[in-house]
Structure 1
Amino acid sequence: MDHNYTFLLIEDNVIDQIITSKLLKNALTMSEINIVNNGEEAINWIKTHKCKLNKSLIILSDIKMPVMDGFEFLSKFDKLSEDLKKETQIFMLSSTLCGNEIYKGRCNPYVGDVMTKPLPIKKFISMICPPLKHQA
């Protein structure tokens, strides 16, 4: 599958990192998934790499993480420059069954959807293919 995006996985659990990246690599026939362990590392990654990308960025973020959780990440993401935020779509992944967290995630203007782990790959692909809505 031809894709015009880069993936950033924000996940503190190594097993979930492996499972999610394998699902993405197999379904989208891609070789690289960028992985960071928490929201703070994600903000630093975006600041360092986003302007160098010539593709849209798709972020898959866990909700509960040490250092900076998914909601704190969204708050910091909101404060980034428009250049860093443009052409970025965020999806949250969680093993939580907490209705409040799911609702809070889905109400965030940057979040495309909140999905349960493991990543429901068919549903996810249907959301990103065709390419991102705001691509020209």
Structure 2
Amino acid sequence: MPYKSQFIIIEDNLIDQFVTKKLLKKGLDINPVYIANNGKEGMNWILKNQNLNPLIILLDIQMPIMNGFEFLEEFDRLPKDVKEKIEIFVLSSTLDSEEIRKVKENKYVTDFWNKPFKLETLRNTFLQI
């Protein structure tokens, strides 16, 4: 049975996009999975697709144009009714403890996952809901 939420991957790395999309399809039967190459594209997509709910965002930190932290600042400015329908999971390969702390302390971030994450992480997170 397909998972009910819509998913958008906000990630600049094409390989990470491909792998994450495949894991969503294999693990949760998610199709389509939307892709944004940076935070600005992701924010524009959200603004154009506010009617798609609930929405799960898989967000990278380090990206050109608008990084994950800048995206989270813009996200804070969205109307409350839009934010309430969205969950954000940050996916990153960072080893920077300050970045990890900032992500984990952000009130909009549901969880932080190290890349590459496992199929079981997806299943354990989303099939429990």
Query: 1:21 deviation in Å?
Result: 0.4
AA partner of residue 14 (structure 1): L
Alignment RMSD (CA, Å): 1.2
Query: 1:124 deviation in Å?
Result: 3.0
Sequence identity percentage: 46
Give the Cα–Cα distance (whole angstroms) in 1 for the partners of residues 123 and 110 of structure 2.
12
1:49-76 CA distance string (max 9 Å, x none): 02x22x3100000000000000000000
Query: 1:78 deviation in Å?
Result: 0.4
Give the Cα–Cα distance (whole angstroms) in 1 for the partners of residues 7 and 19 of structure 2.
14
For structure 2, the 5+ residue unaligned runs are none
**1:76 is matched with which residue?**
74
**1:9 is matched with which residue?**
9
Where does 1:1-136 land on structure 2 (aligned, <5 Å)? 1-50=1-50, 52-53=51-52, 55-131=53-129
Give the Cα–Cα distance (whole angstroms) in 2 for the partners of residues 119 and 84 of structure 1.
27
Query: Residue 27 of structure 2 contacts residue 122 of structure 2 at CA under 8 Å; is this kept in 1?
Result: no
TM-score (norm 2): 0.94
For structure 1, the 5+ residue unaligned runs are 132-136
* Length, aligned pairs only: 129
AA partner of residue 74 (structure 1): L
**Which 4+ stretches in 1 moved above 3 angstroms?**
none
